[in-house]
């Protein structure tokens, strides 16, 4: 039963409900107004705040520039490595992952399974910095629990060769030592960025049209170093240090005409991939960071001054005083005492007495000028970090005996690089060149950005004086103290040095620096080189501790200069090992097999080289080691018709090649190595496993 509203009695609830309606109308109105303020009037400000928290700039790393040797062989490249981690709760195929990692990373598969199974959290590292090139499955497999972190890493193609020169970087791409430090800003390139979308937990995902700036990869360096020569130098240096029992050693080889450093090694050295294990002793480039009192190698500089000033000629008579010269209480002695002789002979026999007394012919200033002009006491300015200037007294600091001691390499000190640069100036007809290790800067694409200019430092002595000096220095090797450096057929000019080291302010009778510095071929020098042994023990003389190392390096590198790259490789390889692993040439045709074997230094009977058919058997078998020059006996299948090749035991593709080569058709079952073969007419069916 409905009541007519108008007839109802007064009910307070009606006006009180009106109050409630008004209250809520105002309340919702206020909310609406507030929303209008936030969304419409202040909207732009909040949208900006929103954009800021949604976007995240992700850095794109530039690839570090590569390092090439002077023939553009890769020395230090970039390798893409992958680090693997797992989310054990999400991993679908732990066994497969463990198997693949065991292959690629080298630990037993149980080790990985252990880590996956016994880890409580959701992130566990499995393998760091794995090169996955050989294991594409690791790269492509899409297990939701497998986490990959890709990063570029320096790869040293020649391992530790030239490690000190090339230098190292830290994980963040900062150059730490060597050229990596010197040219860090060029090598590192400039990073770019891409704007990614992020969520409240910091997870990133790509934007649709991301704002991005591509990274610019670093410039590459073309070194003046010849990596093959460097390799030989390092090997021979190490051998020399071992044989002489020296504490350390340094070898530097320069091209006198350009100042190019062809090789620069010091021992001990280190593995650039394991910088954490290396000591500072092993990292520093001793040729520029360590000073030593050079001793007799300075006599060539004194001789240069005397000859250039026309004070003496090579064949002028001098007096060796029987190997004793008393100067104000100190006696200078000679190991090979001379009496009346010639200046040339005095140099050959390295007479301290003659050189000390000859300085009476030179003013302090004049001697100082020549020594300084040859680059002593001044940094050479080579583009490597850490070079020291050496020590050279100014004429006003000279005391009465300084000149006489300086004449044979005391009361001053120099670096190995300063010394070899000075000799290179003599070799270069008296003109000193600025030594350098970087020849050119290479753009990421491989084009040369710009060449580093060859820089002449100054003319030090005249051409004639240089020729005279070269002539005298060849005598040192031919007849004098450095006969151990002589090589039949190659004229070498050089000088030995055997210097006492200062220990606690006094000259030691046990600690010596033995060195040999010279250049070859003397007629038209291509290489100037210094070999320096620090504190050798089995023999102390430059002529016995350093000269043989010089000789062996020359012997092993001499041929490289004129020969093509391929031959140089073979000679360099032969210096390392005289045996090779015999390859599998079965199934190849005769010319191909011959080529493969000859490239490795193995021989093939001339009659077989052009034979028809394919190789059926070889002796010695593949995988064995053989001396280079060994003749490999091959048994050929003749062409089709005469014999059906027996390909059992061949790799499948090799077997197919052999059969096709012999003109037969092939059917294949399975893969791997051929186990069985069946003939039906001209078709051969292979069963492989």
Beta carbon nearer to another protein, 17 or 214:
17
Q: Enumerate residues 392-451 that contact another protein by CB under 8 A.
A: none
Is residue 32 a contact residue for another protein (CB under 8 A)? yes
SS3 string of 427-483? HCCCEEECCECEEEEECCCCCEEEECCCCEEEECCCHHHHHHHHHHHHHHHHCCCCH
Residue 465, by phi and psi: left (phi above 0), alpha (psi -120 to 50) or beta? alpha
Residue 561, by phi and psi: left (phi above 0), alpha (psi -120 to 50) or beta? alpha
412 neighbors 375 (Cβ within 8 angstroms): no
Helix (H, G, I), strand (E, B) or coil at 511: strand
- Shortest separation between residue 53's beta carbon and another protein, angstroms: 7
Q: Enumerate residues 575-614 that contact another protein by CB under 8 A.
A: none
Handedness of CA 405, 368, 425, 165 (dihedral sign): positive
Which range in 33-41, 438-446, 592-600, 678-686 contacts another protein by CB under 8 A?
33-41
- Shortest separation between residue 7's beta carbon and another protein, angstroms: 13
473 neighbors 302 (Cβ within 8 angstroms): no
Q: Which helix (H) or strand (E) holds 49?
A: helix 43-54
Is residue 53 a contact residue for another protein (CB under 8 A)? yes
64 neighbors 169 (Cβ within 8 angstroms): yes
User: What does the block give as tokens for 396?
Assistant: 């006003």
Contact pick of 7, 12, 277, 328 for another protein (by CB under 8 A): 12
Which range in 31-39, 367-375, 419-427, 479-487 contacts another protein by CB under 8 A?
31-39
Which range in 37-45, 187-195, 242-250, 597-605 contacts another protein by CB under 8 A?
37-45
- Shortest separation between residue 199's beta carbon and another protein, angstroms: 4
- Shortest separation between residue 37's beta carbon and another protein, angstroms: 9
What mask, x for binding another protein by CB under 8 A, covers residues 200 to 239? Answer: xx-x------------------------------------
- Shortest separation between residue 141's beta carbon and another protein, angstroms: 21
Q: Which residues pair with 82 in a beta bridge?
A: 130, 150
Helix (H, G, I), strand (E, B) or coil at 336: coil
Beta carbon nearer to another protein, 27 or 60:
27
User: What does the block give as tokens for 331?
Assistant: 């006696």
Contact pick of 6, 7, 27, 111 for another protein (by CB under 8 A): 27
Beta carbon nearer to another protein, 197 or 598:
197
Contact pick of 7, 36, 318, 633 for another protein (by CB under 8 A): 36
Query: Radius of gyration over alpha carbons of the chain, in Å?
Result: 38
Judged by CB under 8 A, how many residues of this single chain contact another protein?
Answer: 37
Contact pick of 45, 216, 274, 689 for another protein (by CB under 8 A): 45
Beta carbon nearer to another protein, 144 or 381:
144
Cα-Cα-Cα-Cα torsion 368, 369, 372, 374, nearest 10 degrees, comes to: -120
Is residue 122 a contact residue for another protein (CB under 8 A)? no
Is residue 3 a contact residue for another protein (CB under 8 A)? yes
Burial class (CB in 10 A: 0-12, 13-18, 19+), 179: buried
517 neighbors 539 (Cβ within 8 angstroms): no
Q: CA 615, CA 589: separation in Å to the nearest integer?
A: 6
Strand 603-604 with 631-636, pairing:
parallel
Beta carbon nearer to another protein, 202 or 505:
202
Contact pick of 49, 103, 327, 565 for another protein (by CB under 8 A): 49
Beta carbon nearer to another protein, 41 or 171:
41
DSSP annotation of 509: E
- Shortest separation between residue 586's beta carbon and another protein, angstroms: 56
- Shortest separation between residue 451's beta carbon and another protein, angstroms: 53
Which range in 1-9, 128-136, 466-474, 489-497 contacts another protein by CB under 8 A?
1-9
Is residue 121 a contact residue for another protein (CB under 8 A)? no
**Measuring CA to CA, how many Å separate 188 from each of 192, 214, 446?**
12, 14, 16
Site residues (vs another protein, CB under 8 A): 2-3, 5, 11-14, 16-17, 20-21, 24-25, 27-28, 30-32, 34-36, 38-40, 42-43, 45-47, 49-50, 53-54, 199-201, 203
């Amino acid at each position: 039963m409905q009541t007519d509203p108008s007839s109802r009695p007064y009910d307070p609830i009606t006006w009180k409900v009106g109050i409630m309606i008004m209250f809520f109308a105002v309340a919702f109105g206020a909310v609406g107004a507030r929303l209008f303020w936030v969304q419409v009037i202040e909207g732009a400000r909040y949208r900006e705040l929103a954009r800021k928290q949604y976007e995240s700039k992700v850095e794109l790393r530039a690839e570090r520039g590569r390092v090439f040797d002077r023939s553009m062989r890769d020395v230090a490249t970039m390798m893409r490595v992958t680090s693997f981690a797992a989310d054990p709760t999400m991993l679908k195929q732990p066994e497969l992952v463990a198997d693949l990692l065991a292959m690629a990373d080298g630990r037993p598969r149980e080790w990985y399974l252990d880590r996956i199974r016994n880890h409580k959290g959701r992130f566990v590292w499995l393998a760091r910095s794995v090169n996955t090139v050989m294991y594409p499955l690791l790269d492509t497999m899409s297990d939701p629990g497998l986490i990959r972190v890709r990063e570029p890493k320096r790869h040293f193609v020649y391992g530790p060769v030239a490690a000190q020169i090339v230098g190292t970087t830290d994980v963040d791409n900062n150059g730490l030592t060597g050229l990596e430090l010197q040219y860090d800003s060029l090598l590192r390139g400039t990073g770019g960025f891409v704007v990614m979308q992020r969520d409240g937990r910091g997870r990133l995902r790509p934007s649709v049209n991301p704002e991005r700036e591509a990274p610019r990869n670093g410039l590459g360096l073309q070194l003046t170093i010849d990596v093959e020569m460097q390799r030989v130098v390092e090997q021979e240096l190490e051998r020399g240090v071992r044989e002489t029992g020296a504490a350390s050693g340094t070898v530097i080889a320069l091209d006198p005409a350009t100042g190019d450093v062809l090789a620069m090694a010091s021992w001990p050295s280190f593995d650039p991939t394991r910088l954490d294990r290396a000591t500072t002793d092993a990292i520093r480039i001793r040729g520029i960071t360590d000073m030593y009192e050079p001793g007799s190698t300075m006599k060539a500089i004194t001789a240069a001054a005397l000859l250039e000033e026309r004070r003496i000629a090579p064949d002028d008579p001098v007096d060796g005083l029987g190997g004793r010269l008393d100067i104000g209480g100190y006696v200078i002695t000679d190991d090979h005492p001379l009496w009346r002789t010639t200046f040339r002979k005095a140099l050959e026999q390295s007479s301290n007495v003659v050189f000390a007394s000859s300085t009476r012919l030179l003013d302090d200033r004049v001697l100082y000028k020549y020594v300084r002009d040859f680059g002593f006491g001044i940094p050479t300015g080579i583009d490597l970090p850490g070079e020291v200037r050496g020590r050279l007294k100014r004429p006003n600091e000279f005391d009465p005996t300084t000149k006489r001691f300086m004449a044979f390499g005391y009361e001053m000190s120099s670096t190995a690089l300063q010394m070899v640069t000075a000799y290179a100036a003599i070799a270069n007809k008296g003109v000193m060149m600025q030594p350098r290790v970087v020849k050119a800067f290479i753009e990421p694409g491989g084009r040369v950005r710009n060449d580093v200019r060859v820089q002449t430092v100054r003319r030090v002595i005249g051409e004639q004086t240089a020729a005279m000096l070269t002539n005298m220095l060849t005598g040192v090797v031919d007849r004098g103290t450095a006969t151990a450096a002589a090589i039949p057929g190659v004229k070498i000019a050089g000088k030995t040095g055997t210097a006492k080291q200062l220990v606690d302010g006094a000259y030691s009778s046990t600690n010596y620096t033995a060195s040999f510095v010279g250049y070859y071929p003397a007629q038209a020098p291509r290489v100037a080189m210094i070999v320096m042994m620090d504190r050798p023990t089995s023999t102390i003389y430059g002529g016995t501790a350093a000269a043989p190392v010089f000789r062996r390096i020359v012997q092993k590198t001499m041929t490289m200069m004129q020969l093509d790259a391929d031959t140089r490789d073979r000679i360099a390889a032969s210096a390392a090992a005289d045996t090779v692993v015999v390859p599998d040439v079965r199934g190849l045709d005769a010319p191909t097999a011959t080529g493969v074997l000859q490239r490795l230094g193995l021989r093939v009977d001339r009659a077989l080289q052009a034979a028809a058919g394919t190789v059926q058997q070889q002796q010695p078998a593949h995988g064995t080691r053989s001396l280079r020059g060994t003749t490999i006996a091959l048994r050929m299948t003749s062409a089709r018709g005469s014999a059906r090749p027996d390909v059992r035991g061949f790799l499948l593709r090799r077997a197919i090649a052999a059969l096709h080569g012999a003109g037969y058709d092939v059917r294949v079952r399975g893969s791997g190595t051929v186990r069985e073969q069946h003939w039906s007419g001209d078709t051969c069916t292979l069963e492989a496993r």
